[in-house]
Structure 1
Amino acid sequence: MSLKESLKEAQKEAMRAKDKLRLGTIRMALAEIKQKEIDGRVELEDADVLAVLTKMMKQRKDAMQQFEDAGREDLAEQERNEMEVIHSFLPQALTSEELDALIAEAMTESGASGMQDMGKVMGWLKPKVQGRADMGELSKAIKAKLSA
């Protein structure tokens, strides 16, 4: 079953269970996916749906931080709850050991030798870690390896 179909099934289950938070979050994700499909006039594949969910996760994280900084714990809690729902559709996160091994493999495959090759390494890694690792953290780890 594709990721989009999983979302649609989860939407039906949330409706039956009358889980408003889960239902609202899933509807938001499906609306975002539908908008991407309409804009690009294409049917999104799992990798594209994963990118949409990853982007939504990052947006929620940023919003949660802003609400916490502003002292609005109620709104921050809402963002946390939405993040949990979105996270349930994302693949298992990579461990730091797995990430280090992938970075080493990417550096070998792309022939990276210094910071000027950062783009090559990121380009090689991005499709393999999409949705399974924070891209900001990945970038920091790559920089550390390339500058060593």
Structure 2
Amino acid sequence: MSLLERLNNDMKQAMKNKEKDKLTVIRMLKAALQNEAIKAGHKELTEDEELTVLSREVKQRKDSLHEFEKAGRADLVSKIQTELTYVNEYMPQQLSDEELEAMVKETIAEVQASSKADIGKVMSALMPKVKGKADGGAVNKLVQKHLS
């Protein structure tokens, strides 16, 4: 089942169950996916493109969450946390710390990186492998830790 089909099914279910917050998030996700398809110029997005859109939505909400926490807006913090929970339901299973660390070590060995100057090489080889499965900031910190 494609992501769009899954969103449509979940949207119907949210309507039946009168889950307003979930319905709003699903509609936002559908709109983001449809806008991306229009921008790309084709009818349906590939799985990779869908993952890019979902990752962008998660990142936007995490950034908003951070800003609202800094501003002391508890009302908006809880709203964004709820939205983030719903968006994360459509993301692939996240990598554990151990799995991520193993992938970082493996990629460092693959590209024969030895110093901090090689961070770019490692990141460009590693990010496609962990796309949507790990936070880019966490990946970067791990790479820096292993190359220092």
Question: TM above 0.5, one fold?
Answer: yes
Equivalent residue runs for 1:63-82 within 5 Å: 63-82=64-83
What is the CA–CA distance in structure 2 between the aligned matches of 1:126 and 1:55, rounded to whole Å? 14
Who is 1:20 aligned against? Answer: 20
How far 1:64 moved relative to its partner? 1.6
Who is 1:122 aligned against? Answer: 123
Equivalent residue runs for 1:7-46 within 5 Å: 7-42=7-42, 43-46=44-47
Report how many residues are paired: 147
Who is 2:113 aligned against? Answer: 112
Structure 1 spans left out of the alignment, 5+ residues: none
Who is 1:93 aligned against? Answer: 94
Alpha-carbon deviations, 1:34-76, whole Å to 9, x = none?
1111111133111211121111111111112222222221111
Alpha-carbon deviations, 1:97-125, whole Å to 9, x = none?
10111011111222222222222211221
Alpha-carbon deviations, 1:1-57, whole Å to 9, x = none?
122322222122212222111010011011111111111113311121112111111
Taking structure 2 as the reference length, what is the TM-score of the superposition? 0.91
Percentage identity across paired residues of the two chains:
41
What is the CA–CA distance in structure 2 between the aligned matches of 1:64 and 1:86, rounded to whole Å? 14
Question: CA-atom RMSD, angstroms?
Answer: 1.4
What is the CA–CA distance in structure 1 between the aligned matches of 2:116 and 2:45, rounded to whole Å? 34
Structure 2 spans left out of the alignment, 5+ residues: none
Taking structure 1 as the reference length, what is the TM-score of the superposition? 0.91
What is the CA–CA distance in structure 2 between the aligned matches of 1:2 and 1:127, rounded to whole Å? 21
